[in-house]
A and B are shown apart, each in its own frame.
Chain A
Amino acid sequence: MGKTLFEKIWDTHIVVEKENSPSLIYIDRHLVHEVTSPQAFDGLRMNKRTVRRPDLTIATMDHNVPTNNRSLPILDQTSAVQIQTLEKNCKDFGIKLFDINSPNQGIVHVIGPQLGITLPGTTIVCGDSHTSTHGAFGALAFGIGTSEVEHVLASQTLWLEKPKPFEIRVEGKRKNPHAVTAKDIILSIIKNIGTSGGNGTVIEYTGDGICDLSMEQRMTICNMSIEAGARAGLIAPDEKTFEYLRGRKYTPKNYESLVDYWRENLKTDTDAKFEKRYTLQIDNIAPQVSWGTNPGMTCDVTESVPSPEEFSHGDQNQKKGAEKALEYMALKPGTQMTEIKIDRVFIGSCTNARLDDLIEASKVVKGKKISSHVKAMVVPGSQMVKRQAEELGLDKIFTDANFEWRDAGCSMCLGMNPDILSPGERCASTSNRNFEGRQGAGGRTHLVSPVMAAAAAIAGHFVDVRDMDLN
C-alpha cells in the first residue's frame, strides 16, 4: 500500500522504532525564541549538557520585543531580562541568533521560510504551536513544549507517537480571490470541523483550491492547523515551493539536486490511506469573521451572530461555551456582523503579516482614512518584510490613512509586549486566536483576513470587502 506525504517524512526520520511505543524521531531544524527556551537552557546547564547540533538550530526574539522605539532601552525589566537571557544562552551554547537589531529579525515562522531555513521533507520544531506554518513547504513542522525544547537541544531527537494522517481537500475556484482569501478558507475549515476536529492528526491539504494559492497564502492555511487541534498541517511541495526557496540567504548550495529528489519523492501515493477526510468547496465561500472566543466560533460576514442553540446543534457543552462567549464578547444573537463596531485594528502575526498580506490590505486602504474612532496598526512579520513593503511605498499608504507602522514582532497577536487591547475594546485582528483576554485582559478579538481588517478600519465596523473595488 502507498504512503501519505506525512508518512514518508516520518519514516525517513525514525532513529529508533519499537512496537506499541513512541518512536525516536530525528529533528532537522530547531527554531528557538525568547519565551519558551530559558528554562530549557537552564536544564542543560543543571545537567552539564551541551547543544548537540548548533548547526541545525537558529534563534530569534519575537514574542516579547517592542515594535517601536527600538533604539531605547526596554522599559519592562522582566522583558529586558528575558531578552538578555536569550542573548546569553545563544552565546554560551554557540547558537546563531537574529537579535533585535538584526536585519533578519522577525517572527520565527516568517523568517524561517524567508531565509531558506525551512526546507521540504524536513522535520522542524519550535517551542511555539504555530510552527505548523512551515508545513506549507512540505515539511513536518510542529510546536513543542519547553521540556521537549530541552530534549531537542540535547539530543536533536524527540520521542513521538505517530499522529494519524487527515486529508482536507479544498476544491473549486474563489470568485473574487482578492476579497476571499486563504484566511477565509482556513477559518471555514475550522468552523466546520471544530477546534478539536484535528486532534491527534497531521493534516495534508490537497485539491485545486490549495494548488492555486501562493506560498504565502499556503503558510496562512498551515499556520492555523493547530487551531483545528492538529499537530501539524502540510502541503506537498510543487514548482511554486521550489521557486520560493531558490536563492535565499541560507538555501543550501546543492539546492537543485535536492529539488530533483523532492520533486520525485515528496507526494502522497495515489493508493495511500488517510484515516480521516474532509472536503471544502470554495466556489461560493464568503469572507469570515469570528464572533466568539475560539476560532471555530466563526460565521460569514453576511450572517448575523448565531444563538447558542443554533451554534451548538443540541450539544449542551457547546451551548454553554457559546453562552459564555457571547457574554464575554458583549454580543447579542441576531446582530448583523456588519453592524458590529470596532475600536482597534491589528494587521500582523505569523498568520497574516507577510508581504502579500500587506500589499492586499494596502489596496483597500489606499487614498482613504481610517474611521475617526478607530486605532489601527500594521506590524510586519519580519524586518525584511518591513523593508520590502517600504520599497513598495506601502508604509506611506498605511500611515497616510493614519495606521501606525511598526517594527516586526508577534505584538498584539498575544500581547506580551506593550501592544495590548484595553478592557472592553473590540479589535478586528488578522491573528489566529480569539481566546478570552488573548490580546489584553477584557479585550474582544474578531479574527479576519488582512483585507477585511483594512476595510473594517476604514468603515469603523465590519463590511463585506467583496463590495469594494480591489483591482
Chain B
Amino acid sequence: MQSFKKIKTIITPLDKVNVDTDQIVPKQFLKLVQKSGFGKFLFFNWRYDDHEQLKPDFILNDPKYKNSKILVAGDNFGCGSSREHAVWALQDYGFSVIISTSFADIFYSNCFKNGILPIILDNNTVEKLQRETNEVEVDLQNQTIKTTSETIPFDIDLHKKKILLEGLDDIAQTFLYEKEISDFEKQSTVPSVL
C-alpha cells in the first residue's frame, strides 16, 4: 500500500445520507475477481442513465470536480454490505479522503486497508465543508483540514494513522506476533471444523 501524502484539492459535496455500498458499487460488478478498475463503476446508477450515458445532474459528472480527491457526504456513509469493492471503486476513481458525520463500521475499517482516510466531523462542520468551493488541504500528519479561512482539527486512532502514513502491510506486521499466535493456539480448546 502507498503511504498517505498531504492532499490539496477542491471538495466534492455529496448531499446524501445513508449512502450504502450498493449505491457506491452495484452488485453486477462484484463478479470480477480482480481489485483494479472499479472506478468506472463508482455510483453507477447515479452516474449513468439507462443507455450508460453520464447523467448531467449528478455531481461527479460536473467537470469542475474532475480532480477532486475529497468527498464530503452525509451521515452513516458506507452502510450495508461488507463489499470492499466499494472502497476499491472510490480509490480507483481518485478519492483519498472521505468526510462524514459517521461511517458504517466495516466500511470504515476497509478504508484503512486501501489507503483512504475517512474523517469524522460534527454536522455543522460537514455542512460548512460541503459549501466550501476553494481548495482545502488535508494533512494527516498534523490531523488538520485547512480551508482558506480556518484550520479544522480531526481525531484519528494513532495505530490507524501510522498504517496510512507508512503504508504498512498489515499481515507482515501481524507475523511479528507469530509466537503469541502459536501460544494461543496451543491452549485453545475450540475443535477443528472437519
Contact = CB atoms under 8 A, between A and B. Distances in A.
B105 A200 contact: yes
Interface string B5-31: 000000000011110101100111011
B90 interface: no
Contact of A199 (B22, B50, B80, B105): B105
B192 A148 contact: no
B39 interface: no
A239 B157 CA distance: 41
Given A129-B82, A196-B102, A436-B22, A151 B35 contact: no
CB-based closest 10 A-B pairs? A147-B113, A38-B33, A145-B84, A145-B110, A55-B192, A143-B82, A252-B191, A146-B84, A196-B76, A129-B82
Contacts of A320: 15-17
Given A143-B106, A436-B45, A16 B177 contact: yes
A55 B81 CA distance: 27
B94 to A, nearest CB: 20
Interface stretch (B54-62, B139-147, B148-156, B167-175): B167-175
Contacts of B114: 147
Contacts of A58: 193-194
B85 to A, nearest CB: 8
Interface of A: 15-16, 20-22, 24, 26, 28-29, 35-36, 38-39, 42, 47, 49, 53, 55-58, 63-64, 76, 78-79, 81-82, 85, 96, 117, 119, 122, 127-129, 143-148, 150-151, 154-157, 159, 161, 163, 195-196, 199-200, 226, 229, 231, 250, 252-254, 294, 317-318, 320-321, 324, 414-416, 423, 433, 435-438, 441
Contacts of A154: 171, 174-175
B4 to A, nearest CB: 16
A151 B106 contact: no
Contacts of B76: 195-196, 199, 229
A146 B170 CA distance: 13
Contacts of A146: 35, 84-85, 110
A426 to B, nearest CB: 17
B45 A437 contact: yes
B87 interface: yes
Q: Which of B106, B171, B193, B194 has the most CB of A within 10 A?
A: B193
Contacts of B169: 47
Contact of A441 (B15, B26, B104): B26
* Size bin of chain B's contact surface: 35 or more
Contact of B184 (A26, A76, A317, A441): A26
Contacts of B193: 29, 55-58, 96, 117, 250
Contacts of A143: 82, 106
A435 B22 CA distance: 7
Contacts of A231: 105-106
B26 A15 contact: no
A199 B102 contact: yes
Contacts of A29: 193
Contact of A321 (B17, B27, B30, B170): B17
Contacts of B105: 163, 199-200, 229, 231
Interface in B88-132: 102, 104-106, 109-110, 113-114
A15 to B, nearest CB: 5
Contacts of B16: 320-321, 324
Contact of A36 (B50, B82, B191): B82
A145 B20 contact: no
Contacts of A423: 50
B181 A36 contact: no
B181 A157 contact: yes
B191 A254 contact: yes
17 contacts: A15-B177, A26-B188, A35-B83, A36-B82, A36-B84, A42-B34, A76-B31, A96-B194, A127-B84, A129-B80, A129-B106, A143-B82, A145-B82, A155-B171, A157-B177, A294-B18, A414-B81
A435 B31 contact: no
Given A16-B177, A21-B159, A122-B190, A145 B109 contact: yes
B110 A147 contact: yes
A145 B33 contact: no
A28 B84 contact: no
Contacts of B192: 53, 55-56
A379 to B, nearest CB: 16
Given A78-B32, A145-B106, A156 B83 contact: no
B131 to A, nearest CB: 14
Given A56-B192, A250-B193, A414-B27, 13 more contacts: A20-B158, A129-B80, A143-B106, A145-B84, A146-B35, A146-B84, A155-B174, A231-B106, A317-B74, A317-B75, A324-B16, A416-B27, A437-B26
A85 B34 CA distance: 11
A155 B181 contact: yes
A416 B181 contact: no
Contacts of B81: 128-129, 414, 433
Contacts of A151: 170-171, 174
Nearest to B76: A196
B80 A147 contact: no
Contact of A26 (B30, B35, B87, B181): B181
Contacts of A155: 171, 174-175, 181
